């Protein structure tokens, strides 16, 4: 009976959740006490799941890998739901996360196949019968997705809703809570931006409608239910190691880690992203990040071109051994600035994240040491200019008061003597008061003498020594910070060097047995770009 009641309640909650906006569903899901929280999350999965699964399948040829990336995307949504509640629609955000996770999973899968000794990729029908076995079309889809991911949020949201989720412009306007005219203008602006960017990358404008023409991807009800169950278990923190597959847990953990590093990295992380954005890198990609080249005019030559020892000669400038994950086929005619080789930068990305953390810690240590040194400087100056003068003045005042009291006691003794015999007891009392007054004067003078002769020099010496120690510690922490920054900068250069551009126009001639999957060392010659006869490059 309890089970039937629960099923009826879930059905009722799902029905009421279907008409809510993304923001309302996130609000309901965020309220863990709401009995419709699970139904709200399931509504989000059913609403955006077809788009997310389509993105995953277009990048990952293996259906199991695509399903893992699908689940990982919604698990990241679970952990980031609180920060997304200000968005009216989360389709654009989910599209970006799914693209990054899929790219990461793709390279992880390629690395796993290499380790296991499989030389060829398994081709499975994961993106629809009309695109299976068509690598050019798959590559076009991935390029479109990459460009959509780099659109501003307001444009990406309408593109995802209208092209990937298949909504009409009127439905998209209702989902976003904005006028229809705004959606139409954003769609037009987004198409214009995409058209120009795709043309610079050698794709025709017709590719923009590629995903929309494929129609929605059907969701397996068991996949939806499994995702919701795993997400709710993941949210509660109980039994997650049993519910979540290892591959999914790894993707989620690394993605959340990099999102956190981006957040705490502040300006430094933003600088890294800006520096690497033109080369298709991002910390969100993490291990196995797949690089997509920007337009030839937007790229700067990598260190591989700078170190070329002869015209057209291209060699690796990445330290150690690195694997080639993409290379232009032998005999291909290329233009100067075109991406011709992509080296595996996954380990470098991981090292960069760890190095950024180390650099931040070193910076914090340096700034703390600087504050400690400044505090020591202030304490020394305060003692010399304020504290000691006050102590000295107080000690001199005590001496002056004690001397005046002694003078009064001596005057009283003379008065009593002049007045006649005061008796034995009176004389003893006067002698005791006189001795006390003299002792007080002596103690006050001794305190003043010790303060000016010993205490002052000892205290100033100790404060000076503390200042020197703090200064040496500050210099050491500063040197350590500079060292860590240099390491971070070197890693950034290494990552940029993983994307190699053609140094000149010409024909690609591979060196020896070089191919995708080959390992190369620093300074190993990968290929040559032979310039056409009669060109300036060929005459050099």
* DSSP conformation class of 127: S
The correct answer on CATH 1.10.12 for the domain covering 356-495 is no
User: Whole-number mean pLDDT of the chain?
Assistant: 75
Q: What confidence score (pLDDT) does residue 183 get? A: 81
Cβ(90)–Cβ(77) under 8 Å?
yes
Q: What confidence score (pLDDT) does residue 264 get? A: 52
At 306, the pLDDT band (50, 70, 90 cuts) reads very low
Tell me the CA distances in angstroms from 528 to 226, 296, 307, 336, 525, one per residue in order: 51, 18, 13, 13, 8
318 sits in the region (left: phi over 0; alpha: psi -120 to 50; else beta) called: beta
Q: Across-strand partners of 333? A: 507
At 309, the pLDDT band (50, 70, 90 cuts) reads very low
- Of the candidates 153, 141, 147, which has an alpha carbon nearest to the alpha carbon of residue 56? 141
β strands within 359-435, DSSP E: none
- Burial of residue 435 (CB within 10 Å: 0-12, 13-18, 19+) is exposed
Cβ(109)–Cβ(287) under 8 Å?
no
Q: What confidence score (pLDDT) does residue 222 get? A: 83
| Cα within 13 Å of Cα(516), Cβ side | 14
For 115, phi then psi, to 5°, come to -60, -40
At 298, the pLDDT band (50, 70, 90 cuts) reads very low
Distance (Å, rounded) from C-alpha 67 to C-alpha 225?
Answer: 13
Q: What confidence score (pLDDT) does residue 478 get? A: 94
Ranges for all domains in the chain classified under CATH 2.40.50.100: 295-345+498-539
User: Class of the 295-345+498-539 domain?
Assistant: mainly beta
Is residue 261 pLDDT above 90, yes or no? no
Q: How confident is the model over 159-210, as pLDDT tens digits?
A: 877 876 777 888 778 777 788 888 888 888 888 888 877 777 766 554 444 4
Average pLDDT over residues 495-505: 92
Q: How confident is the model over 428-478, as pLDDT tens digits?
A: 888 888 898 889 999 999 999 999 989 989 989 999 999 999 999 999 999
User: Per residue in 369-392, is it b (16+ CB within 10 Å) or e — as a string?
Assistant: bbebbeebeeebeebeeeebeebe
Torsion of Cα atoms, 366 then 371 then 374 then 378, to 10°: -160
In the chain, pLDDT over 70 holds for what percent of residues? 70
Q: Which two tokens stand for residue 483?
A: 């060292």
- Looking up tokens 């380990």 gives 347
Q: What confidence score (pLDDT) does residue 232 get? A: 77
Q: What confidence score (pLDDT) does residue 533 get? A: 74
Q: What confidence score (pLDDT) does residue 418 get? A: 59
- Range name among 3-7, 76-80, 114-118, 289-293 with the lowest pLDDT average: 289-293
Helix (H, G, I), strand (E, B) or coil at 343: strand
Q: What confidence score (pLDDT) does residue 389 get? A: 93
Tell me the CA distances in angstroms from 80 to 40, 231, 232, one per residue in order: 15, 12, 14
Q: How remote is the C-alpha of 151 from its chain's centroid?
A: 20
Residue 512: partners with Cβ closer than 8 Å, 6 or more residues away: none
Is residue 377 pLDDT above 50, yes or no? yes
Average pLDDT over residues 57-86: 82
Helix (H, G, I), strand (E, B) or coil at 344: coil
- Of the candidates 334, 332, 279, which has an alpha carbon nearest to the alpha carbon of residue 303? 279
- Of the candidates 285, 227, 252, which has an alpha carbon nearest to the alpha carbon of residue 48? 227
Is residue 239 pLDDT above 50, yes or no? no
Considering Cα of 75, then 77, then 80, then 85, what sign does the dihedral take?
Answer: negative
The number of beta carbons lying within 10 Å of the beta carbon of residue 195 is 17
Is residue 365 pLDDT above 90, yes or no? yes
């Amino acid at each position: 009976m309890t089970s039937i009641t629960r099923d009826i309640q879930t059905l009722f909650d799902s029905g009421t959740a279907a008409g809510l906006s993304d923001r309302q569903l996130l609000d309901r899901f965020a309220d863990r006490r709401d009995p419709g929280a699970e139904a709200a999350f399931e509504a989000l999965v059913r609403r955006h799941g077809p788009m997310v699964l389509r993105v995953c399948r277009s990048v990952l040829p293996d259906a199991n890998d695509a399903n893992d990336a699908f689940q990982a995307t919604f698990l990241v949504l679970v952990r980031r739901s609180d920060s997304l509640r200000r968005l009216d629609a989360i389709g654009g955000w989910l599209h970006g996360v799914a693209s990054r996770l899929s790219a990461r999973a793709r390279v992880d899968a390629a690395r796993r196949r290499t380790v296991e000794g499989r030389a060829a990729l398994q081709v499975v029908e994961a993106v629809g019968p009309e695109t299976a076995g068509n690598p050019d079309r798959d590559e076009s889809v991935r390029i479109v997705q990459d460009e959509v991911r780099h659109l501003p949020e307001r444009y990406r949201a309408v593109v995802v809703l209208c092209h990937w989720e298949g909504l009409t412009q009127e439905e998209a306007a209702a989902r976003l809570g904005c006028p229809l005219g705004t959606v139409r203008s954003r769609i037009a602006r987004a198409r214009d931006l995409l058209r120009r960017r795709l043309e610079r990358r050698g794709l025709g404008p017709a590719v923009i409608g590629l995903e929309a023409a494929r129609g929605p991807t059907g969701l397996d009800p068991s996949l939806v239910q499994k995702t919701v169950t795993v997400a709710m278990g993941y949210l509660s923190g109980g039994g997650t190691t049993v519910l979540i597959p290892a591959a999914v847990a790894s993707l989620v953990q690394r993605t959340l880690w990099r999102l956190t590093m981006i957040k705490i990295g502040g300006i430094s992380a933003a600088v890294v992203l800006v520096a690497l954005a033109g080369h298709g890198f991002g910390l969100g990609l993490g291990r196995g990040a797949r690089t997509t080249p920007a337009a030839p005019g937007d790229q700067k030559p990598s260190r591989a071109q700078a170190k070329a020892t002869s015209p057209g000669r291209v060699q690796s400038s990445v330290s150690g051994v690195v694997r080639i994950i993409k290379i232009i086929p032998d005999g291909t005619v290329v233009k100067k600035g075109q991406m011709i080789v992509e080296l595996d930068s996954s380990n470098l990305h991981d090292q960069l994240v760890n190095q950024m953390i180390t650099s931040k810690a070193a910076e914090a240590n340096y700034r703390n040491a600087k504050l400690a040194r400044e505090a020591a400087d202030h304490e020394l100056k305060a003692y010399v200019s304020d504290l000691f003068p006050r102590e000295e003045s107080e000690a001199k005042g005590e001496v002056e008061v004690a001397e005046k009291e002694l003078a009064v006691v001596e005057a009283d003794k003379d008065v009593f003597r002049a007045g006649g015999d005061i008796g034995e007891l009176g004389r003893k009392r006067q002698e005791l008061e006189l001795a006390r007054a003299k002792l007080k004067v002596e103690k006050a003078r001794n305190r003043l003498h010790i303060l000016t002769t010993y205490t002052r020099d000892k205290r100033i010496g100790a404060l000076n020594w503390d200042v020197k120690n703090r200064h040496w510690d500050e210099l050491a922490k500063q040197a350590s910070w500079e060292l860590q920054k240099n390491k971070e900068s070197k890693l950034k250069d290494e990552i940029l060097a993983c994307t190699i551009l053609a140094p000149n126009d010409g024909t690609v001639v591979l060196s020896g047995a070089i191919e995708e999957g080959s390992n190369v060392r620093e300074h190993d010659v990968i290929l040559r770009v032979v310039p056409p006869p009669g060109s300036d490059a060929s005459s050099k």
